């Protein structure tokens, strides 16, 4: 679980960096881009706090995915698309307590999805 926490922290930080670098652009989506930046900032301590608690981890991931879905509903164009992709990645990743190794094996794919969507969102928000 410690590796899981570290990998997700890196993925979240990468996505946050991409969004931070461009959070003030995208004329019609400025407020949504700023809300996305705040959402990432708020998510980091929540997922860290859930380390070691698989139920809490899964809940934090789903809640964050739902939050991103809500933000996507306020956006349009590429911002909407990026937030939607990211939301699906977070909502679909769950750790099965009976087989945490399988979830760990899927981490590289999750990190890749999050980073790609974060870069798309950063570009869309610029």
Q: How do residues 12-62 score in pLDDT, each as one tens digit?
A: 555 555 555 444 444 678 888 888 888 888 887 887 787 778 888 889 889
In the prediction, which pLDDT does 24 show? Answer: 45
The 10s digit of each residue's pLDDT in 7-22 is: 555 555 555 555 554 4
CA 10, 15, 43 angle in degrees (round to 5)? 75
Of all residues in the chain, the percent with pLDDT exceeding 70 is 79
Tokens at 78, concatenated: 């590429």
- Residue 114 has which token pair? 């999050």
Distance CA 46, CA 4 (A): 14
Domain extent listing, the chain: 2-124
């Amino acid at each position: 679980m410690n590796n899981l926490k570290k990998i997700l922290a890196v993925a979240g930080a990468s996505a946050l960096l991409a969004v931070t670098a461009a959070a003030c652009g995208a004329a019609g989506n400025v407020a949504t881009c700023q809300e996305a930046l705040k959402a990432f900032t708020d998510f980091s301590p929540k997922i860290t706090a859930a380390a070691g608690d698989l139920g809490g981890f899964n809940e934090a991931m789903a809640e964050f995915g739902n939050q991103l879905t809500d933000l996507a509903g306020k956006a349009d164009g590429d911002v909407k698309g990026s937030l939607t992709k990211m939301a699906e990645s977070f909502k679909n990743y769950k750790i099965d307590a009976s087989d945490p190794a399988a979830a760990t094996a899927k981490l590289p794919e999750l990190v890749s999805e999050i980073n790609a969507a974060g870069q798309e969102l950063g570009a869309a928000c610029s």
